[in-house]
Structure 1
Amino acid sequence: MRVSLRSLVAALAVAMAVFVAAPAFAQQPASVNPTAASVKEQQLMQALQAGTPGQGTTLSGRITIPDAGAGNLIQPQGQAWRAFHQGTMHWIGAIAILGMLAALTLFYLVRGRIMIEAGRSGASILRFSTFERFIHWLTAGCFIILALSGLNVTFGKFILAPIVGEGAFAALSQWAKYAHNYLAWPFMLGLVFMFVTWVIHNIPDGTDIVWFKKGGGLVGGEHPPAKKFNAGQKLIFWSVIVGGGLLSLSGVYMLFPASAGGVLALQFWNIVHGVVAVLLIAAMIAHIYIGSIGMEGAADAMTSGEVDLNWAKEHHSLWVEEKLARGAVHPHAAGQPAE
């Protein structure tokens, strides 16, 4: 009897509790939005701007893990970097690359192809050895793939994605990223080989001033004297060495971000990488033009390695004289008239 009475009292207590709590449960919404009361980005930015000047460059929260950087909620420099990467960088790339293409098209329409004025002699002279051509194509081949995969990062989602679709673009971009990361290493190796092999021929001297004064023979009828590399080729060489060096250094920091020295340094090297890349791409477009359709006989130098003697005498007369003095060219062949 006493047990039954206790059970009855307990049941009544539970019923009373449910009755009292029912209105509170009834006031709860059917669904809860967990982010309704969350802080918006604009509020964080306003809080950052309202802070005391000089008291730091980030808006940070409290954390309990050892990595103090994990507490940074907003870094204003990141906002500036994003604006540059998604805005200014597009304009720099478009102006540099499209501007170069437009300039070369206009030059071709006005000047036409640069022909061998004396015509082909039928005699040839070795210009680049097998090893020299190997390091050229090693570096050039890697650079082309690096350039295309890098441009995809900046312009791909605007140009390529609408054409091939999001799925194909994602797969292509993933493979392009692998190619970019791994081909960077043979590209850097090629830069080292190029520097060691050709630096002695690319030291500026007095003949370069004369070459520039005469427009390199591109805008006049007279070809200025030049050694193995003329002033224009020296400019390309140092652009590749300096520009390629900056791309290599910044690229290594981007591959191994922990070595960059912090987020701000990494953002700096990211900007350097992008700007130098598009400028070097524009320069290489001009180099490819002159070495192919822009000038008769120029492509032979990096294909067979041998160039027509008349071509060499017109564009690199001092180099031909040096070869003659060393007996590398038969005097009769060097002096034979063009038919």
Structure 2
Amino acid sequence: MEPSRSEGFSSAILNLFSYQPLISWLLVASVFGVILTLALFVVINGRSRLEHGYSGIPIRRWSTRSIVAHWLGAIPCLFLIVTGLVLGAGKTFFDTQSNSWGTVVNLASDLHEFMAFPFMLGGLAMILMWWQQQRFVRYDLDWFKQFGGYINSGQPKHPDAGFSSGGEKLWFWVFSFCFLVLSVTGLMLFFPAIEPGYSLAPLVIAAHIGSAMVLGAFAVVHIFMAAIMSEGAMGTMINGHCDSNWAKQHHNRWFETIKKP
């Protein structure tokens, strides 16, 4: 009996993902490759500075509930990325015959499983609370055309942005999609009762690894933009406030709405 089309496709996926060096390098590139690219960008382009410095006038941007949900999802996400790299790429880059390898893998596996559940809780909370603010509008297209105003060549341009910029909205929807795929496939791989059959297992594993690569790459960009590239951005998700000059420069349309009585 000839294999069905779905079985043939699953077999092809399994063969692809059985080539460990390829998967390992793709996983590493999705994190460290992006880090190196962004570091080079900063060296050449420089950071995005506040044109008029800090005003000293704080504006409330995030509620306490939003801050808690963000870190409930973000901290486990970092652990999942690191442990996922160990589990998915460790065999290629480390000596698997060493005495410590088994300990490292077991620890990474346990942490990966443990951190998955707070990640899902925090991620779901963020999606439910924020999705209405993340709908694309016409001026978001200009934000992308001008690269958010982060290219420091010639006269600085800061395109229009509401509460969330076009780039932040893109990150939100990429996160939401990858979150859904990772959660569903992760639960299928974790619980024996819903474990996929042999023909579906390669597709589930491929979807899990592929979405993890995309999420990891975008997460690195998100951290980079908040912590390094955009002066004044990091504190907004720590204390919930931003400087008025930062809001005016990066989220001018939102700033205009909160100025109104």
Q: TM-score, structure 1 length as denominator? A: 0.70
The residue number in structure 2 matching 1:172 is 104
Q: Does 1:255 align with 2:187?
A: no
| Cα offset, 1:100, TM superposition | 1.3
Residue number among 53, 78, 87 corresponding to 1:119 in the alignment: 53
The residue number in structure 2 matching 1:133 is 67
Distance 1:82 1:166, change over 3 A: farther
**Contact 1:92–1:275 (CA under 8 A) maintained in structure 2:** no
Letter of the 1:84 counterpart:
F
| Cα offset, 1:264, TM superposition | 1.7
Q: For 2:59, what is the secondary structure of its paired residue? A: strand
Letter of the 1:239 counterpart:
V
Residue number among 209, 215, 231 corresponding to 1:296 in the alignment: 231
Give RMSD over aligned pairs: 2.2
The within-5 A match list for 1:1-339 is 54-56=1-3, 81-85=14-18, 86-161=20-95, 166-219=98-151, 221-325=156-260, 327=261
Larger radius of gyration: 1
Distance 1:118 1:267, change over 3 A: same
| Cα offset, 1:78, TM superposition | 5.8
Aligned counterparts of 2:129 and 2:193: Cα–Cα separation in 1: 34
Task: Report which stretch shifted further, 114-123 or 95-104.
Answer: 95-104
The percent identity for this pair of structures is 31
Distance 1:56 1:231, change over 3 A: closer
Q: For 1:118, what is the secondary structure of its paired residue? A: coil
Aligned counterparts of 1:210 and 1:180: Cα–Cα separation in 2: 39
Aligned counterparts of 1:195 and 1:56: Cα–Cα separation in 2: 40
**Contact 1:226–1:317 (CA under 8 A) maintained in structure 2:** yes
Q: CA deviation digits over 1:18-55, x for unaligned, max 9? A: xxxxxxxxxxxxxxxxxxxxxxxxxxxxxxxxxxxx44
Q: For 1:125, what is the secondary structure of its paired residue? A: strand
Task: Report which stretch shifted further, 114-123 or 170-179.
Answer: 170-179
Give structure 1 stretches of 5+ with no counterpart.
Answer: 1-53, 58-74, 328-339
Q: CA deviation digits over 1:76-120, x for unaligned, max 9? A: 966862552314322432443343123202210111111101111
Aligned counterparts of 2:82 and 2:33: Cα–Cα separation in 1: 18
Distance 1:320 1:262, change over 3 A: same
Q: For 2:199, what is the secondary structure of its paired residue? A: helix
Aligned counterparts of 2:69 and 2:60: Cα–Cα separation in 1: 17
Letter of the 2:120 counterpart:
M
Letter of the 2:59 counterpart:
I
Letter of the 2:144 counterpart:
F
Distance 1:278 1:261, change over 3 A: closer
Distance 1:95 1:177, change over 3 A: closer
Distance 1:91 1:257, change over 3 A: farther
Task: Report which stretch shifted further, 278-287 or 95-104.
Answer: 95-104
Aligned counterparts of 1:76 and 1:115: Cα–Cα separation in 2: 50
Aligned counterparts of 2:68 and 2:13: Cα–Cα separation in 1: 42
1 or 2 for the larger relative contact order (CA 8 Å, sep ≥6)?
Answer: 2
Q: TM-score, structure 2 length as denominator? A: 0.89
**Contact 1:312–1:320 (CA under 8 A) maintained in structure 2:** yes
Task: Report which stretch shifted further, 99-108 or 192-201.
Answer: 99-108
Q: CA deviation digits over 1:245-268, x for unaligned, max 9? A: 111111011112452441121121
